Amino acid sequence: MTPMSTGAMPVLYSFRRCPYAMRARLALHASATACVLREVVLRDKPAALLAASPKATVPVMVLPDGEVIAQSLDIMRWALARHDPHGWLQPDVGTLDDALAHIAECDDRFKRDLDRYKYPGRYEDADALVHRAQGAGFLMQLDARLQAAPHLAGSRSGLADNAIAPFVRQFSMVDPAWFAQQSWPRLRAWLHAWAGSDAFAAVMHRYAPWLPADAEPVVFPPGAQ
């Protein structure tokens, strides 16, 4: 790729393990939307990221016309509105509004419990076990929803599946032994299938941290033109 060929592509500032960045990359992969990926070191954020978005968190997408999309769900919807070959925006079960409401619950209540379960020392008076129990309530809802179909969207994975799964994965990794003992067979099967997919493998490829002096841009998804 030459600088001219990548100049018409959006630029995505990302961090491999961040669940927000993960779901943005999943949508870009699903929609076959080519972008220039810049892997960020969170403790040493590049000036270009800070200039693009004062919030200074990933993901951030800068479009060729200079427009900035600074929220992961907005990046997902932007990419899928352009090309949605797998029907992520058309769930078999419920409506897109239902999916967005489910994602909002994950991003609000469940994410709050996840943070305090995983990092109780960062929050005053946080009790990890209390927040684990509260987060488990959301996971029980997911398991019940998965009783009717293998995915939250129905017969195939959709927007809600791929927006929520990165956070469920993070929750499961805090105490894997405890997670494995819970009575969520459908949830565990769903998470296992998602984490074992080719799409997940593709978006979790390791890239070297981006430097402004890099001669060759990284084009994502792999093989995109």
The CB density around residue 118, as the number of other CB atoms within 10 Å, is: 17
Cα–Cα distances (Å) from 224 to 28, 90, 202, 206, in that order, read 10, 24, 12, 17
pLDDT at res. 5? 59
pLDDT at res. 31? 97
Q: Which residues contact 148 (CB under 8 A, 6 or more apart)?
A: 93
The DSSP-derived string for 133-189 is HHHHHHHHHHHHHTTSSSBTTBSS--HHHHHHHHHHHHHHHHSHHHHHHSS-HHHHH
Residues 174 and 84: their CA atoms lie apart, in Å, by: 33
Residues 165 and 193: their CA atoms lie apart, in Å, by: 11
pLDDT at res. 215? 78
* Residue ranges of domains in the chain, CATH in brackets: 3-86+201-220 (3.40.30.10), 96-199 (1.20.1050.10)
Residues 70 and 58: their CA atoms lie apart, in Å, by: 8
pLDDT at res. 56? 87
User: Which tokens sit at 112?
Assistant: 């709050």
pLDDT at res. 224? 66
- Provide the residue-wise pLDDT of the chain in tens; the chain has 225 residues: 444 357 789 999 999 999 999 999 999 999 999 999 999 999 999 999 999 998 889 999 999 999 999 999 999 999 999 999 999 999 999 999 999 999 999 999 999 999 999 999 999 999 999 999 999 999 999 999 999 999 999 999 999 999 999 999 999 999 999 999 999 999 999 999 999 999 999 999 999 999 998 878 999 998 665
pLDDT at res. 76? 98
pLDDT at res. 55? 87
Of how many residues is the chain composed?
Answer: 225
pLDDT at res. 2? 42
pLDDT at res. 4? 34
The model carries a pTM of: 0.94
Residues 136 and 28: their CA atoms lie apart, in Å, by: 30
| DSSP structural state of residue 174 | H
